[in-house]
Structure 1
Amino acid sequence: MANRKYLLAALLTICCYLAGAQTVTFRQVDSTSLAQYNAGNWRALIVDGNSAINSGIDYPVLRLRIAYAQFMSSNYHGALAQYNQVLKSDSYNQTAHYFSYLCNKYLDNNPAASYHASFIDTAVINREHIASFGLLIAGLETGVKIPSNAQRGMGSYTRASLGNRLGWRLQADQSLAYYNQSITSTTPTNGTTPQITPTNTTFANTQFEYYAKLGYSINCRLTLLGAYHYLNNSFGDVNFQNHVAMAGIKYAAPFFTLQGDANVSSITGARVTQFNVQLSTYPLGNLNFYTASRLSVQTGDIKQNIFTQLLGFKLSKQLWLEASGSFGAMNNYLEADALYVYSAIDVSQWKAGSTAFFALGQHAVLCLNYTFEQKLDYYLNNNYKQNSITGGLIWKF
């Protein structure tokens, strides 16, 4: 009986020793993560590093190593999550700010990139040629709209744009655009009289536009948005001075962004308020695959709900594709922070399309878009199809 008692005690001691041997210590985590970092074993470093944090071993150097492993794995959102934790304990950490700048730059989040750049040492700023004032992006797009309606001529659209950094926290985007299409009015089948021009005449529908948007970074996650869009519309001899104002806020978190904004417009005599909420997700932590879901609610002289869904993915090292669809009548509808205004005489009932982005080196991106629209003839009240093809070039400084 006594021997059995001693044997049980010995077994218990051995079990406790083995259990203790499985407990990870700070020294083990530090040496293992350093070895994995030096060897470039990024996957193991991410897995083992996160496991150590979950077990209670958490310190800035470990976070920096995991973040760099995520960065080297092109998981920029995952890296930002780690760098944000480092900055909570050391708000001026140069490594965290520099790589956060790069991560946001690769995610096309210029406001957050600029915010982090404001904390980077001057020597690094000069070495990387990062300026607090100057051009960020320039673009040119032009396209045609081809309707299947004999009473509608082929439309053309051209827009030139510039994006400037006006300090570390302020960015301004501006563009000029011009649209032109010939319209032939037709006697309505219901006997009503058109409101803009006499029937059975052909007139030019032209539109000149100026657009300006400001983005101010409150911090690395919150950006205040404001925009103004002026449109000079002409329907033959009838001219309209149209105005659109937008105010919103955008929240950027690891793996998703959320934006809400309100738009007030006066377009061709109609006063409309449009509220938008958009959720964008980045499941892989980069632009290899992303989604955007947007709900727009119009009130005022026009009441309508529009839903838009977008999917984007990387096909190759230089090629990205986006596919999107919008559902709901787009009457004086505002899209892309009020950059695009759907104020045509014929209202689009729904649209779907795709865009290809092809990188031409480090700075230039070539864009090609195709869009199909179901439109409603203003005079005859019947549907017709419209195909649009747009090409563009974007230059990133």
Structure 2
Amino acid sequence: MRKFIALLPLLVFLAFHAIGQNQADILKVDTVTYALWQKGDWKNLIKVGKQALNSSIDFYYLRVRMGIAYYETKNYHAAIYHLEKAYQISQQESYLKEYLYYSYLFAGRSMESRIIYSTADSLLKKRIGYKKKNFIDEISLEYGHRIVVDDKAIENFPTDYTAPNDGFQEITRSLNTFNIGLRHNVFRKFSLNHAYTNIQKESFKHLLVNGTIEEIDNSKTSINQYYLSGNSRVGKSLNLLYGIHFLNIRYPVEIPYFSQGNIFTTTETISQTDLVGFMSFYKDLKYFTLGASGSFANLNSAVQAQGDLSLALYPLGNLNLYAVSTASFQRELYSNRKYNDELIFNQLIGLKTLNFLWFEGHITFGNLSNFVTNDGASVFNGIGIIKQNFGGRAIVLINPKLNFKISYTYSQIESSFIESLNVDKKHNPIEYNNHSITGGLVWNL
């Protein structure tokens, strides 16, 4: 105890010396970064700021200046990181909110930008641009056409093919898709999306009914779909998406009947309704976004349970270069209690090539059958199994509120004869290729 008392003056002196030294270092860093900020020397400001933080020197205006420096160099993810640090200390300065608003916006985090906008004063809202409350905040229109370029799969189909039990086999000739979608920003932390899709499909069908072979060269199927989802901001940069997707499939069938000793046929339309439900979480972090989702569906007389994990990377801290990797596990359950498991991996890479032009490429590994993607908005519910799937998309920014998208996808599909009462039993595999082109407009109001 006496030794401690004897050393106490020395300890106090060293403590005050350290504090004084730290204050001197803070003053030096403050002076240098302020001068660099005035000159607009963003590269050196970032360099000095990193050195200061590595030396445990941290203060409000250092974070502000580093955030602005990263913003000016278009690294919006790093800008958000430092501006948020400053915002936690003080939320009073209008220009800080302005930089944070645009950093969120240009990083693609629109809901976070809306939250900042809602806290802005009238002068800042005027600088940003007054946003009146719209009933509709986004409209999207899309039309797609898919065709089989080579008809050999149909021309060479064994017309006398029979199977152990009744069933059918289908090869798609063409498919036309129309989609209209709407987004409503209902509250600052909640948005609602919904879409209607109409699909018209023409197919070759080979049927076995009561042991009798029947072929329909051009069978027509109509599919009407309605998609509804909500997006809730449940935490800081944490979003919960949830929703439901209705699919109504209508197709004609010929029903035989006897009359006055003769056999006749009449055409009836069969209506089948399938359902998909999903839930997803997304967490935005510096340079990447983590996602986890699950879906449950009853497509094509089976039940599907699916889980997805995704990682989106933004190496430049903006939307000039990005990569999204998604791994999925799907289990399909049949009425006879059998099941089939699939592992699917999808990779997407996007690149900005001009101020108004982006290109994306994607490829999928694994078998796609009754598969759900894009947060429940896209459903691969065709009868065949997609064995290969890859393509690309161009996004053209016509003006800040309007963009045009055009995409191409190549698919290799395996068609099989499916038994009517045992949909897990498949025979006579035939592969054919599909090519699809889709164009659309997205208008932000």
TM-score range relative to shorter protein: 0.7 to 0.9
1:142 counterpart residue number = 143
Structure 1: how far apart are the matches of 2:250 and 2:404?
A: 32
Structure 1: how far apart are the matches of 2:330 and 2:195?
A: 25
Rate the CA distance shift 1:249–1:255 in 2: closer, same or farther, 3 A.
same
Structure 1: how far apart are the matches of 2:213 and 2:309?
A: 40
Structure 1: how far apart are the matches of 2:401 and 2:25?
A: 47
Structure 2: how far apart are the matches of 1:386 and 1:136?
A: 35
User: Of 243, 246, 257, which residue of structure 1 is paired with 2:275?
Assistant: 243
CA RMSD of aligned residues (A): 2.3
Matched-pair contact (CA < 8 Å) for 2:274–2:300: yes
Q: Is 1:342 the equivalent of 2:380?
A: yes
* Per-residue deviation, 1:159: 0.7
Structure 1: how far apart are the matches of 2:49 and 2:373?
A: 42
Structure 2: how far apart are the matches of 1:131 and 1:108?
A: 21
Task: Write out per-residue CA displacement over residues 223-280 of structure 1, whole angstroms, 9 at most, x where no aligned residue.
Answer: 1111111111123233211111111211001100011011011112211111111100
Q: Is 1:160 the equivalent of 2:180?
A: yes
Q: What number of residue pairs does the alignment pair up?
A: 371
Rate the CA distance shift 1:96–1:233 in 2: closer, same or farther, 3 A.
farther
Matched-pair contact (CA < 8 Å) for 1:111–1:223: no
Q: Is 1:388 the equivalent of 2:408?
A: no
More strand by share: 2
Letter of the 1:279 counterpart = L
* Per-residue deviation, 1:281: 0.5
1:130 counterpart residue number = 131
Structure 1: how far apart are the matches of 2:61 and 2:384?
A: 60
Letter of the 2:117 counterpart = A
2:343 counterpart residue number = 305
Structure 2: how far apart are the matches of 1:199 and 1:326?
A: 35
Rate the CA distance shift 1:97–1:263 in 2: closer, same or farther, 3 A.
farther
Structure 1: how far apart are the matches of 2:398 and 2:311?
A: 29
Partner-residue secondary structure (3-state), 2:317: coil
**How does the TM-score come out when normalised to structure 2?**
0.78
Letter of the 1:165 counterpart = N
Structure 2: how far apart are the matches of 1:24 and 1:194?
A: 90
Task: Write out per-residue CA displacement over residues 65-122 of structure 1, whole angstroms, 9 at most, x where no aligned residue.
Answer: 1101111111000101101212333356644443232222212222222233333224
* Per-residue deviation, 1:51: 1.2
Structure 2: how far apart are the matches of 1:122 and 1:168?
A: 17
Rate the CA distance shift 1:163–1:198 in 2: closer, same or farther, 3 A.
farther
Matches within 5 A, 1:1-397: 25-90=25-90, 94-127=94-127, 128-131=129-132, 134-147=135-148, 148-149=150-151, 150=154, 152-186=172-206, 193=208, 199-201=214-216, 202-236=218-252, 237-301=269-333, 302-379=340-417, 380-397=428-445
State the percentage of identical aligned residues.
23
Letter of the 1:124 counterpart = L
Structure 2: how far apart are the matches of 1:229 and 1:135?
A: 20
Task: Write out per-residue CA displacement over residues 37-59 of structure 1, whole angstroms, 9 at most, x where no aligned residue.
Answer: 11111111111112112212211
Structure 2: how far apart are the matches of 1:30 and 1:132?
A: 42
* Per-residue deviation, 1:194: 7.7
Matched-pair contact (CA < 8 Å) for 1:350–1:373: yes
Structure 1 stretches lacking a partner, 5+ long = 1-20, 188-192
Matched-pair contact (CA < 8 Å) for 2:94–2:124: no
Matched-pair contact (CA < 8 Å) for 1:115–1:220: no
